[in-house]
Amino acid sequence: MGRVFIKLAYKGTKYFGWQIQPEQLTVQECIERELTKLNSGNPVSVTGCGRTDTGVHASEFYAHADLPFEMSPDNLVFKLNNMLPSDIAIHQVFTMPDEAHARFDATARTYHYFIHHEKDPFIEEISWYRSHELNIEEMNKACLQLMDHKDFECFSKVKTDVTNFNCDIRNALWIKSDKGYIFSITANRFLRNMVRAIVGTMLEIGEGKMSLEEFSAVLKSKDRSEAGQSVPAKGLFLSKVEYPYFTKDNLSD
């Protein structure tokens, strides 16, 4: 088949993130294991569009792999879905040029964070329960500050291997939903723990514990200790990944 892109989704509750880790269950490990079986036991590696942390979900995720066996894309989707656990779903497989790269070719990624304000056992693993009313008008004013800023070291994990902390945030918005609140953010790249740190800091604004002026000072500080606490992973979803070669005509919803 050559190089393929795999469009998938997963519930991250029981996984230690996407990327393979020693003696820990990860999504990448599960997919590589089943592709290796389909390749007569010869190892197959996959490369993801990013690295979601432990407990983070993905309603849209892409990975690429070089497959030496022949199989139609639809048949591969069918086989993988029957082999993988119920919390990992394969949506589509695309044949791609050899140079196509799931991580480096992505032009934007969108994350959503879900908060529910009434106790609900049916969404407990995919949303964070928090009963406080939030002032999303003030939080959305903070979103405008985010989009005017470039260096987000203040929201990054301290120990990280990145060469710079610059991100181009193209959209950031809080909306009120039937169950609570949803935060949406789109950027060309994200730092480790960045979205969860942003949400935790903005909650302080929404609860009246931090002013917009103080939020601006946090952005300029480049100091993680100045920002708010990171919110739990369970409410975070990678929800969209954009590529220059996928359009509405060749990529279904």
Over residues 198-213, mean pLDDT = 97
Tell me: do 19 and 142 sit in the same domain. no
User: Mind listing the pLDDT tens digit for each residue in 157-191?
Assistant: 876 777 899 999 999 999 999 999 999 999 999 99
CATH classification at residue 113: 3.30.70.660
- CATH number of the domain at 50, please: 3.30.70.580
Amino acid at 55: G
**Do 49 and 70 reside in the same domain of the chain?**
yes
Give the H or E element holding residue 205.
Answer: helix 194-206
Question: In the prediction, which pLDDT does 28 show?
Answer: 98
| Helices (runs of H) and strands (runs of E) counted in the chain | 5, 9
Domain membership flag for residue 46: yes
In this prediction, what percent of the chain has a pLDDT beyond 70? 97
With 50 as the cut, is the pLDDT of residue 253 above it?
no
Q: Which of 30, 34, 25 is nearest to 79 (CA)?
A: 34
Q: Is 105 an active-site residue?
A: no
Q: Are residues 89 and 202 in the same domain?
A: no
Average pLDDT, the chain: 94
Q: Which residues are 64's β-sheet partners?
A: 5, 47
Are residues 55 and 139 located together in one domain of the fold? no
Contact between 97 and 46 (Cβ < 8 Å): no
Taking the alpha carbons of 17, 18, 21, 26 in that order, is the dihedral positive or negative? positive
Statement to judge: residues 12 and 123 lie in one domain? no
- Collect all residues with Cβ–Cβ distance below 8 Å to 176 and sequence separation of at least 6: 136
> Could you tell me which residue, 30 or 159, shows the higher pLDDT?
30
Q: Which of 53, 98, 161, 168 is catalytic?
A: 53
Among 86, 35, 38, 107, smallest CA distance to 64 is for 35
- Pairing between strand 108-116 and 128-129? parallel
Tens digits of residue pLDDT in 125-149? 999 999 989 999 999 999 999 999 9
Output the pTM of the full model: 0.94
| 77/129 same-domain check | no
Residue pointed to by tokens 């480790």: 192
Domain enclosing residue 58, as ranges: 2-105
